[in-house]
Each structure stands twice: as structure tokens, then as C-alpha cells.
A and B are shown apart, each in its own frame.
Chain A
Amino acid sequence: MSLQGDLYERRLIWRHRMGQGFEWLCRLATIGALAFLLILLGSILIKAFTPGRGKGLAAVSMPASGAHDVVGDDLSYRVSNILGGQFEEKDRPGLKQNRFTLADVQQGKIVFNHDGRRVAPLFDLTIDSKISADEASKIWKKVGPGREPEGVVIPSVHLPKPANPWGWLTWRLLTHGNSDDPIDSGIMPGLWGSLWLVGLTTLMAVPLGVGAAVYLEEYSKPTLMTKFIQLNISNLAGVPSIVYGILGFTVFSRMFGIFDKEKTYVEIGGMLGLETIKISLPLGPVVLAGACTLTLLSLPVVIITSQEALRSIPASLRHAAYALGASRWQTIWHQVLPAALPGILTGVILSLSRAIGEAAPLAVIGVAAQITYAPGKITGVGDLVQHPEKLIKAPFDRFTALPIQIYSWVNDSVPNFEHVAAAGILVLLITLLSLNGAAIFIRQRFQRKNHW
């Protein structure tokens, strides 16, 4: 095919059309991904801000209008197959009533006890007395509020007050511990546990990861040994997190069973005027064990992304530093690392975001879902000032984490806990976004300083 002529022209038109189609495909892919995200976020938001199903007694009444032809003095109703609660007499609560009369309803003697499992109750209604001379008792199946068959007056069951009319993401949620009642439940222990966890994980993972990356990139020669190490690190990045949980359980939580024979204690502290603290070994499901496990989890990602960031620094920068009489560590510390910091921070953000949402390894370690206090039992800044040794005790205290609490709420059969779980998910997302935002802010500061 020559490059001129009719064939070329036709092909050219086809090429342009394919270009437009390609662009549209990519656009659709973006829209699809965005739609999924919006649907997910929307469903969580809706769940977290709908009032939830109320519980308790609600009145039964007769609607104002409606004609009925009653033969006889009174209508009597019979209910069966009730879903969502039971009819009760106001004076004798707790006793199920399946028959009542029109007069009972009109006088307010009958109430409905919603159990909170459904938004609205559903029941089969039979009218016993004759409505007209020719008709036998009629059954209206599956009647509930809003489902009224024509021509007959059905008692109206009112809905109970909603459980949480202002939405479930409240200050109460953030400051209280767990409880049986969804309205009283709070996420404070999980929030503080996760914050402690993320803090300790960052403190441990970043120096280890960045240090390893610097060694592998700047110092080591490409021998068989380093290639082997590199391969293993890449593989470890893809290992499922539950495996890290099992590892963490054996090494950090149970400590290989070395201390099984008798209880061993380690005393730490005693410096800066603080009292010594006795830590019992093995550690058990404490913050430090969780943090060590999550460090192992995030280490491969941190190492790989830091290596990529260091590799992206051009060799000319290093050569310029060497030519000025800088030693190797000076070049790395003063020039290479500051220039690679944005990339390194991106890797840190990525791995920490993963770590904060991990429930499986923490569950394997044995972290409980029902803890009512923050790690170290710290209740506020004032408490911390009075008892500074609580800060040292905290890493060795039992804890719970946001994903674990959310998981336990999702599984809870008590009604309305799914709303609390949705609110908990929002708290988790907001925490994640703030941590990411803080890291991005630090990265921006460094990018400005380094004017790359």
C-alpha cells in the first residue's frame, strides 16, 4: 500500500474514527469506575444518615374516614402471621393479643409493640363479624400500614419513633465505647486503637523500609544475593494479609511459646522520673504486637516504592555532589533523599492506607472487638498529664481497631447495628483521608522546598 492515494485517505478516516472511539472507551471506563465509587459512597452515606428502625410501643388507631356497613354492633378483628412485633393490651404489656374489637381500638386499649426488625409490621387480618348479610368472615392477607384494601376499615398501626432521627454519625459515636444498644454504641476505642496502631506502624515501617531501599539502591552491588533479596521482597508484597496475621500471632503475640511455662515479666520505664512498668510476656494481643504485624505487612510496599523513587533521581545529581567533595552518605542524605522524598511519601501513604483497613491479621492475633477503653486507658489530655506513664503502658495494652469494630457491628443481629456500622465506615474513611491529607501536605512542603 503506497503512502499516497485513495487507500491512504480511506485509512486516514478510519484512523481518526478509531481515535475518537478509543477516547470514548477510556471516558466510559472512567465514568464506570466513578459510578461504582459514587454508588458505594452513596449507599454508605444513606445507611449512616437514615433514622433507622424504631422500637417500642406505638398506637393503633382507626383512620378518620372510611365507610363501613356493619351489621351488628361491633367489628371484631383477628390477626395472625405477624411480622415485626406483636399486638398488646395497653394495661397488660408483654401479653400477646390476637383478637380485639373496634371498640378496643377506638378507646386506645390496644397498642403495637414494634421489635425493630422491620420498618413496618405486616400481618394477616380477618374480620370475624359479618359485614354484610351475605359475606362470611373475610381474610385480608399481609396488611400493614399503607396497604388498605378498599371499602373496609383496617386499624392503622403507627410507626414508632425512629431510632436516631439526626443520623448515626454523632459526637456520641466518637466518644463512647461499645454497648448492646445501637444508639449508645460508640467507636472511640476503635478509633484510638487504630490511631495508636498507625502511629507505631509508621514509626517502625518508615525507617526500616527507607533504610533497606537506600541500601539496596545506593550501596549494594548487583550480586546474586541482592537479586535474590529483591525477588523475595517483590513476592512478599503480594502475600495475603492473613498470612502476616498468622506470622504476627506466632512471633509477636505468642512469642513462639517460649514463655508458656511460667509467667515472665519485663520491667521498663524508670527513666525521666516515671515509675517502672511491668510488662508480662508473651505480649498477647496488644497494640505493639499489632503494630509489628502491620509493619511487616507494609514493609515490602514501602521498600519497593522507595526504591523506585530513588531510582528516578538522575545520576547527574549524585555526580554533581560527588564532584564537590561529598562522601557517599552525604550525597544520599543531603541530595538524593530530599529529592526522592515525594515518591517515598507516596509509598508510605499507600502502605499505611492498606494497613489501617486490615482486619484479618488483627483478628488472627486475637484482637477483641469489645473493648470499652482506649489503649492505656487514657481518658483525655489532663489524664495524660497527670499519669504520663500511661503513654508507655499504652503499647502494651489490649485494644481494638476500627475495621474490627465495624466487622463486629455488621455481624450483630440486633437491629439498627448496620446503621452504626455505616457510620463507623464513614469514620474510618474520614480518618484515612485525614492521614493521607497530612502525608500529602508534608509531601507538598518538601516539593516546594526542593523545587524539582
Chain B
Amino acid sequence: MKIQGDLKQRKTFMALEKRFTQFVESPAASVTAEAIDGTAPHVLPKIETRTMSFFYGTKQALHDINLQIQDRSVTALIGPSGCGKSTYLRSLNRMNDIIEGTRVTGEVLLDGEDIYAREVDVVSLRKRVGMVFQKSTPFPKSIFDNIAFGPRIAGLTKKTELQNIVERCLKQAAIWNEVKDRLKESAMALSGGQQQRLCIARALATNPEVLLMDEPASALDPASTARIEDLIFELKQNYTIVIVTHNMQQAARISEKTAFFCMGRLVEIGRTKQIFTNPIQKETEDYITGRFG
């Protein structure tokens, strides 16, 4: 195509080309660079933790974490075993409250409001912030009842509405075609990869705003892992996703931002591409190149 015409047309074309290149290169197609960095002034981070520390009894597991997670993006938390990434993830929807003797100091803000405030209803928080666990845990009921559980306990009982929700979620989780004619059969009869996608669909049924994923594909074979990664790629257009992963290639593939945790501290956070090609901290570089962890 001959680039001709007046200057205005050429400038427009160059701008378009630049945008296109950025789109092709960056893994996030829907979020601008400024939004990722958090430097865009008017964008409120979806989740923000300010000097957050976490204690298991007297043992301190997290030290002064300052982290911002932007809306409709994928943030990966990486780090060696026992560094506190899962603890951090679980405190974002207050799942650590179930464990006895845990304590959180500092602030954890969802849309600017502290979720550990006294008047916060944990039940409705967990409806807004869903979670997918490492080992898929479908309920020992039918596939339909698994997905419908969340809406049902929230009060939705109309059969047609539930059926719509189940269909929508199973389609979003890319498992609808495989199970659409056996919705009443047991969820335990599905394969591992299917069960995990079912758990993702189940988490989507409550219409959350945030999805927390704790190593969702670590127990799966490469083919299922690839499907789940595609799924996350689709979902990030509508949901904020925070994913803990041991697999650095996975983090590089799907996330825009990566945070590196080590021994309960947030060592470095930045754009994924930069973390994996040009990390600032030495610890990050050591971990990524495999010198430890």
C-alpha cells in the first residue's frame, strides 16, 4: 500500500502503526501502558495494599506490602516456595480469616475501601472477589448444582435465571460444549483439567469483579494448562485477575504486571516484559535465571 497523501494522513497512519505494534508486542491488548504502570492519574487501582503486614500468630509472614493492582488486567505473583504469595492472595478476599490466630495490619483497599474494616460483610466481599484454588475442588454434586451454588445461596432461585447463568459461565470457561448434555451428572466424573475449568466457571457465577487464582494450572498437563491460559486471556477483558504461579513462562505469557515476592517482602514489581528481561533488583534476577528458588 502506497503511503501517500497529505501529512495529516501520514501522521495518522504512523500513529496507528505504532499502536498496532504495541498491541502485537504487549500481551495485554486492552490496557494502555500508562494504566499498567499506574501512572495515569485518574485511574483508581482496583486493589491496593498499603504497608500491609500479615501475622500467623506471632510469626510475621508478610512485611509492609505496597502493591497496586489495576482493573481488567492480569497481575502475576511469583517467588520461591514459602515466600508469602499465597498468603497475600488469600488476604485479598479474607480467606485467611478462617485460620485461627491470623492478623492483618495496614490497609487492603478494594475500590478504595478497606476490606478489613469492621462493618465489612465478609460474605458479600467474597461474592465480589472470587477465588480458584490450586487443586480443583468441585462439590460432590452435579455440574449444574456446582455452578448454581453461588447464585443460589445469594438468593437467586428462579430456575430459568439459574439455567442462563450456568450456561453463560460454562461458555465463558470454555467448557460448555463438553458438558452441555450432561449437566445433571456428577462433577467428580470430569477429568482434572475439566474440573479446574468447572471451578473457574463456578467462581464466575457470582459475577465477581476480581478473580484470584492460586496456581490454577500447576496440577494439570500442558494441554489443559494451555487451555486455562487461553481462558485467562479471554477473561481479563472483563475481570481483574491476580494469579500466583511458579511457572515463569506462564507469567510471561499471560500477565501484564508481575510482582516478585521473597521471604514475605515485595522485592520488585513492574511490567512483565521488563521484569523478565531487565529486572532491577539482584534478587529478582537471581530467581528468574534460576540461581535460587
Contact = CB atoms under 8 A, between A and B. Distances in A.
Contact of A323 (B95, B141, B189): B95
Interface in A430-452: 449-452
Given A316-B137, A317-B137, A339-B140, A324 B98 contact: no
B137 A320 contact: yes
Given A324-B206, A325-B150, A319 B123 contact: no
B116 interface: no
Interface in B136-180: 137, 139-142, 149-150, 153-154
B186 interface: yes
Given A324-B130, A324-B203, A319 B137 contact: yes
Interface string A7-43: 0000000000000000000000000000000000000
Interface string B104-127: 000000000000000000011111
A335 to B, nearest CB: 6
B37 to A, nearest CB: 30
Contacts of A323: 93, 95, 126, 130-131, 133, 203
Given A451-B186, A452-B140, A325 B153 contact: yes
A322 B133 contact: no
Given A316-B133, A316-B135, A334-B149, A322 B140 contact: no
Interface string B204-235: 01100000000000000000000000000000
Nearest to B188: A451
A188 B189 CA distance: 49
A330 interface: yes
Interface in A93-113: none
B23 to A, nearest CB: 34
A318 B123 CA distance: 14
B202 interface: yes
Candidate in A322, A325, A451, A452 with the most chain B CB atoms within 10 angstroms: A325
User: Which one of A221, A326, A327 has the greatest number of beta carbons of chain B within 10 Å?
Assistant: A326
Contact of B206 (A317, A322, A325, A449): A325
B153 A322 contact: no
B189 A325 contact: no
Given A317-B139, A339-B140, A325 B133 contact: no
Interface in A78-122: none
Nearest to B127: A325
B95 to A, nearest CB: 6
Mostly helix, strand, loop or mixed at chain B's interface? helix
A316 B150 CA distance: 16
A325 B203 contact: no
Contacts of B141: 449-451
Contacts of B139: 317, 320-321, 335
B108 to A, nearest CB: 17
A326 B123 contact: yes
A324 B142 CA distance: 17
A451 B150 contact: no
Nearest to B94: A322
Given A316-B135, A451-B189, A324 B150 contact: yes
A326 B153 contact: yes
A452 B138 CA distance: 11
B123 A325 contact: yes
A338 B95 CA distance: 23
B139 to A, nearest CB: 6
B224 to A, nearest CB: 19
A224 B134 CA distance: 35
22 contacts: A316-B137, A317-B139, A318-B98, A321-B139, A321-B149, A322-B95, A323-B93, A323-B130, A323-B133, A324-B126, A324-B153, A324-B203, A324-B205, A324-B206, A325-B124, A325-B206, A327-B153, A334-B149, A335-B149, A449-B141, A451-B186, A451-B188
Interface of A: 221, 316-327, 330, 334-335, 339, 449-452
Top 8 nearest A-B pairs by Cβ distance? A451-B186, A325-B127, A323-B131, A324-B150, A325-B126, A320-B137, A316-B137, A450-B140
Given A319-B137, A324-B149, A325-B126, 20 more contacts: A316-B133, A317-B137, A318-B98, A319-B98, A320-B133, A320-B139, A321-B149, A322-B98, A323-B130, A323-B131, A323-B203, A324-B130, A324-B203, A325-B127, A334-B149, A334-B153, A335-B139, A450-B140, A451-B142, A451-B189
